[in-house]
Structure formats: structure tokens, C-alpha cells
Amino acid sequence: MGRGVQDGHRARKRFGQNFLVDPEVIERILTAIPRAGELVEIGPGLGALTLPLADRGERVVAIELDRNVVTRLRVKADAAGAGSRLEIVPQDALRLDLAALAEETRLTPPLTIVGNLPYNIATALITKLLAQADRIREMVFMVQKEVADRLAAEPGDSSFGRLSVLVSAQAEVEHLFDVPPTAFNPPPKVESSIIRIVPRTEPLIPPGDWPRFERLVTAAFTQRRKTLRNNLKPLMPASTIEASGIDPSLRAQALDIPDFLTLARLIDPSG
């Protein structure tokens, strides 16, 4: 099989395609995916996870944008006797409305969502899905290792940043294991990681505070090397930060979620 060609299909850079081919890695991922009875899979590709999931009895609703892949996956599923347990929705995952999807495909929320996410949309997609967190039970994704490190980072870690804060405010993130480039065809130029994201039953940020919280966190990490005094200058003076009990000479990565919420509530709503 040629580099970048899998089951007669050449991986398309436009869709960020890297097909998972290592059977040991596939088995390890399958073990990490809970038995839910029904699953949403984003980016099924040529079925490396899809077909084994269907084979173990899951009903899989797969979201796939590449119509060439859709055709090949349908043929493979039918040949494997899994066609009746697989429904393919030809759609851009970034436009996914979980409420509409559940209604159209007769899925029962909260949903378990899995997938090997294209690196170029992983962050945007996870953010969009978490905006619909009330319809999600759990997500198990493969992402670029750098993204996984940021998602799972704790305050003080070098990878801790805006994404870490906004995601951890809404969900618990677990970095399960790493996947080498050799597990794919074609091999990507970066390492990958499997992560589990479980939305919190009670988000750490009340919905009414979210707009100010997101604005505050975004500003705080505008320039990572600068202090709160400098990055938050457009939102509040250093004296306001200090009066809240937080040192304005700190950098944003030293703060935890309660600290960010404290500062967010100090933003002048008329500002």
C-alpha cells in the first residue's frame, strides 16, 4: 500500500486525513471507548474504529465530510455485515447541532462522541461541542499531542493557557495515552494523543458570568510573557486586581479558575 493511500483512497490534505492503521493502537482506543449502545463518531475515515465498534454491537452515527470516504466506508460496512448498525451523515462537523442530529437519527442524549479529529479543526470543534455540553455524556478523541497537553494542563504548567481554562471550566479532561506517527498512513509530522472529556454536571462558571469570564481569560493570555497588570489594562487598573487579593505582577498561567472568575466579576459591564 502506497504512502497516503489506504483501501484505494488517497488521503486528502484538505480534510486533514491521516488514516489509523496500527492494530494495537486501534485496540487500545477501542478499550478506552465506553460501551454506550450508540455512539456519534466524528471523522470515521475508512472505518478503523467504526467497524470494530459496530461489530461489538454499537449503533454508530458517523459524521464525515469527504464524499469519497463516505462511499468507500458504506461499501466496507456492508461487506463486513455492519451496514445495519452504521448511519453516515455527510456533514461538516464544525456545523454539528447535536439536538438536530439526535432528532434526525433517533439518538438518545446525552451522547457519547468519539473520533480521530483533523488537527486543523480539533480546538474549534471541541469548543463548539462544549457549547452543547448538556447533550453530551462523554467524548473520547484523538488530537495532536500539543492540543492534548493544553487541554489537560493545570495552573502553572507551561502548556496552561486560554484553552485549558475555558475547557476545564466546563469539563474534566483526562490525557489517556500518546500515539506515534507510525500508527497512521500517511504518518503525520506530529505525535497524537487520546483524551477523554467529560462535561461537568455543574459547570464551574455560572452561565450569567460566562461572557465576562471568557473575555477576561482571553485578555489575560493575550501575551503570555506579560503580567496581569499589562494584559488586563484595557479591562481594569492594577489597583482593582490587587484589591481582589490577586497579585497584578503574576502571569495568567499562575491563576486558577476561581481567580479568573473573581477578576471577571470586576469587569465594568458598561465598559
- pLDDT of amino acid 268: 80
Percentage of the residues of the chain whose pLDDT score is greater than 70: 93
Higher-pLDDT residue of 186, 194: 194
Region for 43 from its dihedrals, namely left if φ exceeds 0, alpha if ψ lies in -120 to 50, beta otherwise:
left
Percentage of the residues of the chain whose pLDDT score is greater than 90: 79
Give residue-wise pLDDT tens across range 36-88.
999 999 999 889 999 999 999 999 999 998 888 888 899 989 998 888 999 99
Instruction: State the CATH class of domain 5-199.
Output: alpha beta
Domain positions in the chain are 5-199, 207-264
**From CA 73, how far away is CA 39, in angstroms rounded?**
17
Average pLDDT over residues 229-257: 97
Q: Where are the beta strands (DSSP E) in 25-105?
A: 38-42, 59-63, 86-89
**From CA 8, how far away is CA 97, in angstroms rounded?**
32
Please give the grid coordinates belonging to residue 190: 506530529
Architecture field, domain 207-264: Orthogonal Bundle (1.10)
Give residue-wise pLDDT tens across range 102-146.
999 999 999 999 999 988 899 999 999 999 999 999 999 999 999
